[in-house]
Every structure is written in C-alpha cells, then in structure tokens.
Structure 1
C-alpha cells in the first residue's frame, strides 16, 4: 500500500505519523511559504519552526473533512498570517491593499543581469507588500493550488479567489513589461 494512504478498514495514522508524512510531503512548500511571508531569513526559519509545531499539534484534532494538503496549507497560512500581524503590532505600517500597489519594488541592482532570480525577487518583494489575505492567495496560487483549493484554505469563494488572482496577475503583467514593449 502507498505511504500516507489508508484503506477503509485501517485506522487513521497517529498524530506523529500524520505529521511526519505531511512534513515530508509539504516541507518544501512550508519553507517557500515562510519565505513568502517573511523577508528576514532568520525570522523565516523561526516561522517554519512555528508552522511545524502548529501542524504537529493540529493532527491531534484533524478529522479528515478536507484533504491533508488543504489542511497543511490552512495551518501554515494561519500561523504565517498571525506572524505577520504580530510583526505589524510591533512596528506599524507598510502593507497595502491590492488596489493601492502602484509599482513593483525596484530590483536590488538594476545594472545586474535581469534573470529569473531577479524576477523572483521582484515578485516576492511585491507579495511582501500585500496585506496578508491577498498575500495568502498569491502564495497558494504560486504553489499550484486551484481556486477551489485556495478557497478551502482561506474561506473565500472560488470566484473571489479567481478575481484576486486575476487582479494581481494584471498588476504583475503591467509591472514586468520590459521598456522595449512600452514604445
């Protein structure tokens, strides 16, 4: 039998087993998510640990009413949003609504070769400026979740998720256009 799958007759995995399987399967996504919410590398590592601790605790009451994938993302995003909100209480300002973002953050070194790494950094810089709800939708979208799956995690309707994604994609398309295409 494949790992992580139970038959109808087998008992659900224990809290430790369920956590271990989820951490193994989604560990990389948790790290990417933490980097998406927290720009400081040390704080991102702390956030990863906080997410793992909350995830382990959560499997004590996980009733399998949604997929393990949705559950992991829900827990991870809830912890990350709480992390951002706590940081905001410590220092005020900086986050904006999706409609309020007028330009992307400038690249760190405009003289450097404009490559994939720089575009990723620009994308993360923009995502860091979004309010937690919009940031959550975009990070889940970048993890290839569908609008319905994102809705399960966030509590938004799939239509609201699709609208947010479309608005951010339009913003990014405008912001990432090269100067040659604007002539």
Structure 2
C-alpha cells in the first residue's frame, strides 16, 4: 500500500462492493441483531487494518471475504467463552432474608449486646460462654467453679436479660 489516499480508495471500493457479502457472512455467525451490527463494524475495522497488507494477489472481494470469515470465527470463539445469560423469573425466591428482617435481627443483637453489658461480671461471663455453645461442664472448667454454680449464673443472667429486654428499648 503506497499512500493513505490509495488505502481510503480501496476501503471505499470494498465498502461499496462487499458490504452485502460481509453482512450475510455476519448473519450466518450471529443471530442477535445488535451483536450482528457490532460484528459488521468489527469486520470493517479489521478490513481497514488488513488493507495495509493487501497486495492484489487475490480479488478485493476474496480478500474482504477472507477477513470477514476470520473475524466471524474469532467472534464465535469469543462468544462461546462468555457465560450464558438467562432471564430470571420475577417471582424467584431469594435465599437471603428480606432487608427489613436483617435490620430487625441486627437491632435485636445490638440490644442484646447492650443488655449483656448491664449484667454483673460473673453473670456476664457465664452467659457469654453459654451463647458460644459451651456445655455447663466446659464453662465450669473455664471459670473455675462448679457446674451447678455455672447453671445458677446462667439462669440468673437469662432472667435478668429477659427483664431488661422487656422493660425498655436500649439505645
């Protein structure tokens, strides 16, 4: 290719004589009209770039068709790697709880945490270990007291927490 003007003339020639062929080739590889238009534009861009290497060994139509075919094949390969998108039904159930329920739970947790802070330290220690899932025997070993003393502390802590939580909302 000698000059930019010669390249522009060749591109104008290709556009005038091969646009229908390029569009048909794109149609055989892409069924979505929007994606097909993009593919035709990609082919035209590829032709513009490839014209630098055009030496006239084959007809311009053969050259353009070859470029279009190769671009379509790379388009199909790229689309095959993309994840498929499926429209979800409007009534699709969600595994996560609704936001208002999450907010309510968070508020209850915050209130419970604040209420625990109001307990005497021995009851607070016992109830926290209870909430963590330790057995009375394990809590007794951790706290260095008897299992009966742990049960008594937990029972008193639960009763006091219930009274605090029912009495007033904490801020």
Instruction: Determine if the TM-score, normalized by the shorter chain, exceeds 0.5.
Output: no
TM-score by structure 2 length?
Answer: 0.45
TM-score scaled to structure 1, two decimals? 0.42
Larger gyration radius, structure 1 or structure 2: 2
Would you tell me which structure has more helix in proportion to its own residues? 2
